[in-house]
DNA sequence: TTGACATATTGATATTTTTCGATATGATTA
DNA sequence: TAATCATATCGAAAAATATCAATATGTCAA
């Protein structure tokens, strides 16, 4: 788990779009292809999902012939914390689950 | 100031090395070339610095014929916060200056 | 089984990014 | 002013990444 893999994984317009669609939502690959509105085709979406998967940024649930993806928000938060620790050590962050305080 | 420019700016091994060297320290371009130990040459370092500059991630101070660079830690912290807000909204972060609490 | 559908993989091409040598710019000193 | 040094920019080549069409794999239902 390093900052380089994390940043490379998310440093792409289409992947960030995919991530937005997967935020708090489970979607299949074809759902995503549709949401992206013809911008890219199915193999390309699969390719991007794989990169996100390898970086640990998505949860995956297989259901029949479908694979559902959703964002791993905890991991994203951790990686961002790591970035701050590495490149902004004079700042300190506390990451708090909203659930824990409300 | 968007998440895409930020992530693209930092998603490169050499640039992350440069950022590490510039963390809490002011260095000239040639200082950096040396610190990188022959990995890349001066025009390449200048190129990477420009990308960091365009993303607002460095402070620059001209001193005679030298240009000194250092990391803009506050900006980095803000961008990471933006990432969390965008891609991990179920987590909430508080970013606190160490100076303010010690 | 077979057929149909969802997703992954492959291999080739296209695009983007990085890198370097050469050179330009800008500042300082002789 | 000329010479020197630090850094930036340019243009071409190299490397890395993204994209797509074709096809393989894997799952379900008939």
Name the nucleotide with the smallest C1'–CA separation from B30: D6
Instruction: Give the pLDDT band (50/70/90) at residue A83.
Output: very high
Arithmetic mean of pLDDT, B94-98: 69
* CB contact residues (below 8 A), chain B span 42-81, against chain A: 71, 73-74, 76-77, 80-81
Question: CA B20, CA B40: separation in Å to the nearest integer?
Answer: 16
Of the partner residues B23, B77, B87, the one whose CB lies closest to the CB of residue A71: B87
> Quick one: fold of A3-101?
Arc Repressor Mutant, subunit A (1.10.10)
Better pLDDT: A38 or A43: A43
- Report the gap between the CA of A43 and the closest CA in chain B (Å): 23
Is the CB of residue B23 less than 8 Å away from at least one CB of chain A?
yes
Instruction: Please give the backbone phi and psi of residue B31, each rounded to the nearest 5 degrees, phi first.
Output: -55, -45
In this predicted structure, what is the pLDDT of residue A101?
54
Helix or strand run (H / E) with residue B86: helix B73-87
In this predicted structure, what is the pLDDT of residue B74?
96
Instruction: Give the pLDDT band (50/70/90) at residue A99.
Output: low
Question: Which chain B residue has the Cα nearest residue A100?
Answer: B91
Question: Which chain B residue has the Cα nearest residue A89?
Answer: B73
In this predicted structure, what is the pLDDT of residue B91?
84
Look at B77 and A93 and tell me if their CB atoms are within 8 Å. yes
Rounded to whole angstroms, what are the CA distances from A66 to A18, A43, A63, A71, B69? 17, 15, 5, 17, 50
């Amino acid at each position: 788990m390093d900052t380089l893999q994390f940043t490379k994984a998310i440093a792409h317009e289409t992947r960030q779009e995919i991530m937005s669609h997967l935020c708090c939502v489970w979607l299949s690959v074809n759902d995503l292809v549709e949401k992206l509105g013809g911008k890219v085709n199915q193999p390309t979406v699969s390719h991007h999902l794989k990169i996100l998967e390898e970086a640990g940024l998505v949860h995956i649930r297989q259901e029949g012939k479908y694979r559902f993806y959703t964002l791993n928000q905890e991991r994203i938060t951790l990686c961002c914390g790591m970035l701050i620790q590495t490149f902004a050590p004079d700042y300190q962050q506390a990451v708090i689950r909203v659930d824990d305080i409300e």
